[in-house]
Structure 1
Amino acid sequence: MTGTLDPATREWLEQQGLAPVREATWLEALTHGSFNGSGPADAADYQRLEFLGDRVLGLSVAAWLFRAGDAPEGRLSQRLNALVSGATCARIARSIGLPVHIRLGKQARDDGGADSDKILGDVMEALIGACFIEHGFDAAQALIYRLWARELEGDEGKAKHPKSALQEWAAGNRRATPVYEVTDRSGPDHAARFTVRVTVRNVGHAEATATSKSEAERLAAKAFLEAFG
């Protein structure tokens, strides 16, 4: 890959304890596919490192949850899914100041790509993958435990998922199964926004908008329970 790390980005990576060795690894982790339209033709994007980082994150969080108590498999899975979700990864990314260091094409940046939960979550996982490649599993796991400390020690994922709670509410009240439908999709693929409506026949409906369909469904179910539950 051509190009070098911006001095401010290198300093930021070092502040995060990531200590770049091979610049190409970190350039790849921070490069969105759109950058190839305005940068070097051979610039690799973050997708391969994201794939790797996702697995390192999942294993690290699963190991922490297993050691933290004797919760049954279902509860462990519920917390794991919440802790490694794109929304959580994006929240961590914002907390460490990642958005300004992502290499985006001009159009993607103008469209708000640097604040997209999808892109931020993916790049956060790519950085974990880069840390694993350069410094090994123990260093990547230590990074995760440090950045995710508040989420791991807090209540993230302990409450029942709103979609599950709504499903149980409908069954318990002898109502029809909730129906979810996308009523609107706007924005480019890298900064899409979805509006979802959930309806329970003979009760009512609620809507919510988010940067992913699954998050919009979660928020819509939550809004329905708050209105009718």
Structure 2
Amino acid sequence: MSKRATFQHIRRPSVSRVRGVVVAAGLGTSMVLGAGAAFAAGPASAPDAANLVNMTAESVAQQAVAQSKAAAVKKEAALEKAAAVKKEAAKAAQSASAWMAPVHQYELSASFGNDGSRWAHKHSGQDFAVPIGTKVEAVHSGVVVKAGPNGGGDGPAYGNAIVIKHGDGMYSQYAHLSKIDVHIGQAVEKGQKIALSGNTGNSSGPHLHFEIRNTANYGSAVNPVTFLYKEGVKV
């Protein structure tokens, strides 16, 4: 073989070898660039994940506070509703009772059984402190058996007075009246106006003296507050 032919053979690389080198170089470049890209992306994504966790925890805490407040409001509303229902039930029970208080908007003063120089014996009724001219109503349906001055026959200490006989055998008495609006033998209904309060007779000031009796006459009174309470009326 000639020298020229040998030289030409040495300087000609194979096509496959050249292609291999190019591919290897390209792969190395890709690996380097990929690693760099991953290295660059790693630190940037880490704070985003932490922020997401913090935001999630804060959102959960806010929801818990909101739910707690809502539960407290709901509980308060339920308590208020229960109190209102209880009040209405008590009011309905009193309205359903066959008895009632003789006056409205009052203050209790001298009570049943009190001692004092104002009475010959212990106080025989319950006093309701009200202004002169306050409407007095029958506490239960019945028939008027006493009405007039001198306590309607019970004595001058009562002033103008009324006694009503009720169907269950009990009697109610109203004293120190300024005006009487019923007469003996008249039937009255619960809540009917029968008189106006006053300061007549042996009275230390404007009020209604009220009694519940076993008979029409003085000396047979029972505690009117206790009696009314048993009938579903609280005074």
Q: Tell me the TM-score range normalised by the shorter chain.
A: under 0.3
TM-score scaled by length of structure 1: 0.18
Q: Which protein has the larger Cα radius of gyration, Structure 1 or Structure 2?
A: 2
